[in-house]
A and B are shown apart, each in its own frame.
Chain A
Amino acid sequence: MRRLVPLVAACAVGAGAAALAGAAVNLSPRDALHLAWLAGGAGFVVGCAGGLGIHALKRRSLAANLAWIAVVSVGAAAVGAIAAARAMFISAADLRALVVIVVAAAATGIVVALALGARVAAGSRALVGAARTIGEGSPMPALPDLATGELALIGDELEAMNRNLEESRQRERALDASRRELVAWVSHDLRTPLSGIRAMTEALEDGVVDDPEVVRRYYRSIRVEADRLSGLVDDLFELSRINAGALRLNLESVCLSELVSDAIASAAPIASAKGVRLLGSVAGELPDVEVSPPEMARVLRNLLENAIRHTPSDGAVRVEAAADADGAYVNVADACGGIPEDDVDRVFELAFRGEADRRTGNGAGAGLGLTIARGIVHAHRGEISVHNEGDGCRFTVRLPFRQTTGLEASG
């Protein structure tokens, strides 16, 4: 029986301890050995009874087990003492005194054991309750002061688990909300140009407008609205490709300053129509970057259009391209008046639009441009960020230098 091994070991340790203790108080080795035998025997008998007791107390409360251990250890001392008295090591009077002391010790031991057991039980109940609330998805209650190190460890683990779960729940909620917002805004933004087209077409059809000048204006407006609509559909298509990981990048080694120059040239008409100055600069010789040119052009176009849209007429949008030890970067700085601190982290989010934009319906985008830019930049293993600076904000796109190993394009 493997269970007897610890018991025998306990007895042996007890006997050894008795021999050492005897030597310490100047007992003769013979007496010490005798006493050790007596104590060991008493320990064995009481230990067997204790073992049976612990077996019987299986799955009972910790308090009961601790109380039983207190009884067993005091019992072992008492039986040992009685055996010693029998062997005439202790006088009858001494034995009586010893019995009183042992009984008092037993009582104290049991009370302490019960108190500790109650605290451990309370802590364990608190942990069970906390685990259950985590499982049910409700917020975890604060844990009380836990009685032992082991319980405290479990408590810490539970709290960490709860934090992780709470964070992932929050992420999920945020994602869900932004998805719903996107659907609502896409629907709104697709309907708005459509309703203009519908209304103007019907007006032409019904002859509500007949002045040739107005009729021409209506045709032009219908075309503008149709363009706006197809731009939106384009954005949605691009975004779904990015989200589905279906973005195929045909990487080429290109000169960054050329990309920037092209982007500035193509955004110039929009800027001048709004009276916004578009200033570009390139710092010295720029190394080549490995990018997919149409996609990167789109990133720059989206950033420039965003900057122009949010810059008041007579303001300026500055574009600069440069390189440092980490790679090449492009800055696009506008005069939007700064992004509210709460919104800085959200500008790249799907369908995010500043409150002012939203109310005025400023611009045609459904808030997809920056999300698309971020998706493309990430697919190039680059980084995109935004900071408030001066009277506006600055978007930065960082691209790693041309890599020697073949860069796998992934979505």
Chain B
Amino acid sequence: MSDPNPGPAATTVLVVEDDPNVAEVLTRYLRREGYEVTCLDDGLAALGLALAAPPDLAVLDIMLPGMTGLELCRRLRAEMDVPIIMLTALGEEADRVVGLELGADDYVTKPFSPRELTARVKAILRRCSTGAAPVAEDSAPLVAGDIRVDPRTREAEARGVPLTLTALEFDLLAFLARHPREVFTREQLLDHVWGFQVADSSTVTVHVRRLRQKLEADPAHPAHLKTVWGVGYRFEA
């Protein structure tokens, strides 16, 4: 068992899931990792709680009474920069990634492995808590063409216009900008930016698309975030 580390600064995870079996198992796994877990089965109540006491990470089921997980994700994203993992039992690819489109960091398709989900929670929280650390070694602002990324202030701008990026989008952009012209597969990006290998690689695809929409003058014909056909992505200045 890993060392439980409760205390005033304990990391809080909000789990919103209306299936009691799944909720209980998930709570047990996360508590075992030392997180302070609050589990709710109602979307509306979860929104109220999250607004009153913002968690460090939220795991949201999609089908919820009160308010759907997607709506909850959208509302949370509008208010705070909390990392969000969606749990979805919806079948089609389009339904699954809709959470990512709304700003979730990751999604997991039911039935899922709680072990694996816990690993993802740890990875995301590690990336968030040490967000500045890997950057420190070369924290000078990166300038690539008309794009400027400042790891210290976590600000980015394109063509002189500041970009509103989520934490994950910023990390993705900063990572790619630090390695111009280098080709990365989706798996490598998961490994370096997300911090884990297990996620479905369409998570990367969706985040790249969202980043392009914010970054590129013409997202359909990206000038910076190029697709290397059949391999992955490459950043060009």
Contact = CB atoms under 8 A, between A and B. Distances in A.
Interface of A: 183-184, 187-188, 191-192, 194-200, 202-203, 206, 208-209, 221, 225, 358-361
Contacts of B92: 184, 187
B115 to A, nearest CB: 6
A199 B22 contact: yes
Of B18, B90, B110, B112, the most chain A CB neighbours within 10 A belong to B110
19 contacts: A183-B91, A188-B63, A188-B89, A191-B89, A192-B19, A195-B22, A196-B19, A196-B21, A196-B111, A198-B112, A198-B113, A200-B21, A202-B113, A203-B114, A208-B32, A209-B28, A221-B21, A358-B63, A359-B63
Interface in B15-55: 18-19, 21-22, 25-26, 28-29, 32
A159 B204 CA distance: 53
A192 B89 contact: yes
Given A192-B110, A194-B110, A184 B91 contact: yes
A225 B21 contact: yes
B32 A195 contact: no
A195 B29 contact: no
B95 interface: yes
Of B21, B29, B64, B112, the most chain A CB neighbours within 10 A belong to B21
Nearest to A196: B21
B65 interface: yes
Contact of A195 (B64, B90, B110): B110
A360 B110 CA distance: 18
Contacts of A209: 28
B67 to A, nearest CB: 9
B35 to A, nearest CB: 14
Contacts of B115: 202, 206
Nearest to A204: B25
Contacts of B29: 203, 206, 208
A188 B114 CA distance: 18
A187 B91 contact: yes
A197 B92 CA distance: 21
- Sort A-B residue pairs by CB-CB distance and give the 9 closest, nearest first: A187-B91, A195-B110, A198-B111, A195-B111, A196-B21, A191-B89, A199-B25, A194-B111, A203-B25
Contacts of A184: 90-92, 95
A316 B64 CA distance: 28
Contacts of B90: 184, 187-188
Nearest to B1: A207
